[in-house]
Amino acid sequence: MGDASPPPEAPLVLIGRQQRRRSVVAVDRAAQAAGLRVGMPATKAQALVSGLVVMDANPAADLEALERLALWALQRYAPIVAADPPDGLVIDTTGADHLHGGEELMLSGMVNRFFHSGITARAAVADTLGAAHAGARFRAAPTLVVPPDGHASLLHGLPIAALRLDNAVTDALRVLGFKTIGDVASQPRAPLALRFGPELGRRIDQAMGRVAEPIDPLRTPDLIEVRRAFGEPIGAAETIARYTARLVDQLCRALEEKALGARRVDLLFQRVDNSYQAIRAGTATPVRDVKGLTRLLTDRIETIDPGFGIEIMSLTATIAEPLVARQVISSLVEEPEADVSGLIDIIGNRIGERRLYRVAPVASDVPERSVTRVAPMTADNGETWPSHWPRPTRLLPHPEPIETIALLPDHPPVNFTWRGVRRRVRRADGPERVFGEWWKRDAELAAVRDYFQVEDDAGERYWIFRAGDGEHGETGSQKWFLHGIFG
Amino acid sequence: MRDHAVNPVIAELRERIERLEGGAIRTRAVLPFGVSVIDGRLPGGGLVLGALHEVAGGGNGAIDGAAAALFAAGIAARTNGKVLWCMTRADLFAPALAQVGLLPGRVIYVEAGDEKTLFSCVEEGLRHGGLGAVVGELARLSMTASRRLQLAAEGSGTIGIAIRRWRRQTEASDFGQPTASVTRWRVSVLPSTPLPVPGVGRARWLLELIRARAGESADFEVEACDAKGRIALPSDVVDGSPQKEIGRRFASA
C-alpha cells in the first residue's frame, strides 16, 4: 500500500463477509492485545476499540500472494511445493534437507527469511502432512522437528482443532467432551463415522500416516514445463532414463525459443497411486546442454521408487535465466581453459551447492577474516593475498591456548606446550602485529594480536600469537595461542 | 617399499609386467620438478601427468598434512587449468596455497561429508579431463579404490594427487599397504635453511620417494616450494651432508 498504509502500531482488523453478516477475519497483534478476536461481528469490534483501522479482506489477493510465496519456496527448497490456503505452505522436503544443512537449520533459515520479508512464520517437519500441519500451528516455537515415527505421540496430545476439520465438527466434538486427538482416536470408529461422516476418520488416518495424502504440486504457467503421460505405467530404470532424455530434449528446445537456460530443473514422477517422486538438479550457470542435463537427472534415478508404476513424468525449468549464444574469441596460440561447469554441476548436486566453493581474498589482516567462500563459477578477478608475511598451510578452526615461557613485550616464547607436548623454540620470526577491526565490533577497539612463526627442534613450524601487545592490559589477555601449522 | 614376493618366478613376472606398464607410461607427458637429481630418479623424467600420486606427511605431518598439502599445491600450481581440491576437514588456509603459486582463482574446493563421497568426487574430477590437477585428502585408499582413480587419471590425462592424512598416528601405518598409485612420497619437515640473522629461513623438507613404478626409491633433502611452486636443492646439500651444520647454528630472536 506504500504511503497509504496505516501505522504499524494502530490496531488493524480485516473484515470479511460470512453468509450475511460482516465479521472479523484477521486481527493484527495490536488489535489482539485490545481484545479483538477472529469471528467477532465487525460492528462489535469497532465499538470496542476506538481508532481501529478496518479494511476489507481480499481472499483472492491473499491466495495469489500465497501462491507467489509457494513459487519462491519451490525455487529455493524442494521440487514438490503446494499452497495450503488460507495461510500455509506445504513442502515435501524428502531428500532436500541435507542441501540446506539438515532439517533443523532448514526450518530456522526458512523462518528467518520470512521474518526479514515481514512475515511471522512457524514451521514444522514431520513424517506426514497432517502431523506437520498440526505441529506448525500448535507446537512450533517457531520451528519444530518431529523425529521419525514421533508423529503419533505428538498428535495424541494436540487439541482436536489440529485435525483440519470443519468448525462445526470440531465444536460438536468439543461439546461431547473430546479434548485431544488422542481422545478421539481411541474411540470406536463406527459411531463417530455415523454421527460426523467419514471425514473425521480420514483426517485422523491421514495425520497418522495410515492413509496416503498426496500433495498436489504447485504449477504455474510462468515456468517452462514439458510432460509425458504413459499409456502403460513405467517402472524400469532404463525406461525412465530414456524418457528423461526425451523430456530434456524437449525442454531444451522450449528454453531455446525463449533464449533461456535452466539453472534448476525438477523432474516429477506421478505414480499410479497418485503420489509424487521428484529429482531436482541445479546448475552453476544457465545451461541448455541436453547431454549434461540428462546426466545430472539420470545420475539419481536410483533414488526414485516407482512403486506400482509411473504414469506421468514432467520436467520443469524451475529457475531459468537468459542464455544467449556468444561468440568466442580464440587466440589459436594459447589453449583455452576447459569449461568445468559440467563437473561442478555433477558434484554440486551430489554433495550440495554450499560444499563446493572457491575462496576469495578479503581485505582484512585478521587471518580468519581474510578468506571468504564464493560460488565456484564466480568470475576470477585475479586478486590474491599480500605475500610478504608467511601464512600457515593449516589454520586451526579455533586458536588453541598454549602454555609458554616468553620474555615480554616483544620476544617469541622460549618454549611452549601444545596438546600436552612441550617444544623448544629454536628459531622464530615476528612479531607480525594484527590490530582488531574496531569498525566491526566494539570489543576489538584496542585488541592486538602479535603473530610469530616459530620452529622447534625437529623443524616443525607453527604459527602462534599472543592476544595483546605484551604491555597494555586493554589490548588483550596476554595469553598465547597456536593458530596454524606451516608446511 | 616394494613387497618382494616369496616365489622368485612371480617376482620376475611382476617385474616384467611393471616394465611393460612402465613402457606404456614413459611415452606420456610428464611434469618435471626442474631438479635434475629428483627428475633423474623418476621414470620419464618427472611426475607422469595422467596418473595417481600419493603424498603423506611424516611424523606429525601424518595428522596435519601441512607439508604434504604444500608439496601437492606446488605440483598443482605448475599445471594448467583449474584445480579441484577435495577434503573432509576444511582447515586448509588458502593464502598459504597462493604463496606457492596456486592462486585462489584456480582452486575449487569440495568439502565432502565422508570419505566415500570424497572418493567419488575425486574420481569424477579425474574423469572430467578439463582440470589441471585433482587433489584429494584421503585417509583410506584401498587397492581397488586407487586402481579406479589411476584408471580415471589415465583416461583423462589429469594428474591426481592423493594426500594421505589420518586422524590418529596409529592409523598412519596404512601407508604401507599396496596401492595402484604410480609414485608414493613422504614429506617430513626439517629445520629451515639457516639464516645469518635471527629468523626462520626457507622451509626444508625431507622428501622420500618411497615407491616409483618402474623406478627406484630415493631420499632427497629439498627446500620447500617457492612462489612458483618449485622445490629446490639447498646449496649446502649439493656438496655434502648438511646434518652437522644444523647442529651448530641456531637462532632464536
How confident is the model over B53-66, as pLDDT tens digits?
Answer: 999 998 888 888 99
Please state, for a pLDDT cut of 90, what percent of chain A lies above it: 21
Most confident of A221-225, A336-340, B11-15, B203-207: B203-207
Q: Can you list the domains of chain A with their CATH numbers?
A: 2-57 (3.40.1170.60), 62-208 (no CATH), 224-322 (3.30.1490.100), 394-485 (no CATH)
- Identify any residues that bridge with A26 across adjacent strands, giving them in sequence order: A14
Note the pLDDT tens digit of each residue in A410-432.
788 999 999 999 999 999 988 89
C-alpha cell at B202: 626457507
Confidence of residue B164 (pLDDT cuts 50, 70, 90): very high
Of A106, A83, A84, the C-alpha closest to A94 is A106
B8 vs A247: which has the higher pLDDT: A247
Interface test with chain B among A98, A345, A462, A486, by most B beta carbons within 10 Å: A486
The mean pLDDT of B152-170, rounded to a whole number, is 91
pLDDT value, residue B173? 85
Of A374, A362, A266, the C-alpha closest to A313 is A266
The mean pLDDT of B54-81, rounded to a whole number, is 91
The mean pLDDT of A265-292, rounded to a whole number, is 87
Inform me whether the pLDDT recorded for B27 exceeds 70: no
Do B52 and B208 touch, CB atoms closer than 8 A? no
Inform me whether the pLDDT recorded for B243 exceeds 50: no
Which of A382, A457, A460 is opposite residue B60, by nearest beta carbon?
A460
B163 vs A150: which has the higher pLDDT: B163
C-alpha cell at A368: 580468519
Residues B192, A395: C-beta atoms closer than 8 Å: no
Note the pLDDT tens digit of each residue in A11-52.
888 888 877 788 888 888 888 888 888 888 888 888 888 888
CATH code linked to domain B8-248: 3.40.50.300
Output the average pLDDT for chain A: 87
pLDDT value, residue B252? 40
φ and ψ at A173, to 5 degrees? -65, -40
Q: What DSSP assignment string belongs to B101-142? A: T--GGGEEEEE-SSHHHHHHHHHHHHHH---SEEEEEES---
pLDDT value, residue A3? 61
C-alpha distance from residue B157 to each of A277, A361, B72, B153, B229 (Å): 39, 31, 17, 6, 21
Of A320, A318, A313, the C-alpha closest to A256 is A320
Please give the DSSP secondary-structure letter assigned to residue B170: G
Across B204-239, b (16+ Cβ under 10 Å) vs e yields bbbbbbbbbbbbeeeebbbbbbeeebbbeebeebee
The mean pLDDT of B77-81, rounded to a whole number, is 91
Do B231 and B246 touch, CB atoms closer than 8 A? no
pLDDT value, residue B253? 38
Interface test with chain B among A394, A434, A451, A456, by most B beta carbons within 10 Å: A394
Residues 381-420, chain A, touching B (beta carbon < 8 A)? 381-385, 387, 390-397, 411-412, 414
Alpha-carbon distance of B140 to B116, in angstroms, equals 10
pLDDT value, residue B133? 94
Residues B192, A455: C-beta atoms closer than 8 Å: yes
Please give the DSSP secondary-structure letter assigned to residue A235: -
**CB neighbours of A244 closer than 8 A, spacing ≥ 6?**
A267, A294, A297, A298, A301, A313, A315
Alpha-carbon distance of A449 to A435, in angstroms, equals 6
- Name the least confident of A85-94, A264-273, B3-12, B212-221: B3-12
pLDDT value, residue B159? 94
Binning chain B into helix, strand and coil, the percentages to the nearest 5 are 40, 25, 40
**CB neighbours of B131 closer than 8 A, spacing ≥ 6?**
A338, A340, A343, B81, B82, B83, B84, B125, B158
Note the pLDDT tens digit of each residue in A89-104.
999 888 777 777 788 8
Inform me whether the pLDDT recorded for B249 exceeds 50: no
Across A432-467, b (16+ Cβ under 10 Å) vs e yields bebebeeeeeeeeeebbbbbbbbbbeebbbbbbbbb
Q: Is A350 on the interface with B (CB under 8 A)?
A: yes
Inform me whether the pLDDT recorded for A6 exceeds 80: no
pLDDT value, residue A21? 83
Confidence of residue B26 (pLDDT cuts 50, 70, 90): very low
Q: Is A243 on the interface with B (CB under 8 A)?
A: no
- Name the least confident of A149-153, A222-226, B138-142, B245-249: B245-249
Inform me whether the pLDDT recorded for A173 exceeds 60: yes
pLDDT value, residue A334? 64
Nearest CA in chain A to B109: A357
DSSP E strands: which ranges in chain B? Answer: 30-31, 47-48, 52-57, 83-87, 107-111, 133-138, 159-164, 183-190, 204-212, 218-223
The mean pLDDT of B176-202, rounded to a whole number, is 90
Most confident of A127-141, A213-227, A452-466: A452-466
Alpha-carbon distance of B232 to B226, in angstroms, equals 8
- Name the least confident of A388-392, A435-439, B111-115, B244-248: B244-248
The mean pLDDT of A215-237, rounded to a whole number, is 87
φ and ψ at B213, to 5 degrees? -65, 130
Domain range annotation of chain B = 8-248
Residues of A in contact with B242 (CB under 8 A): none
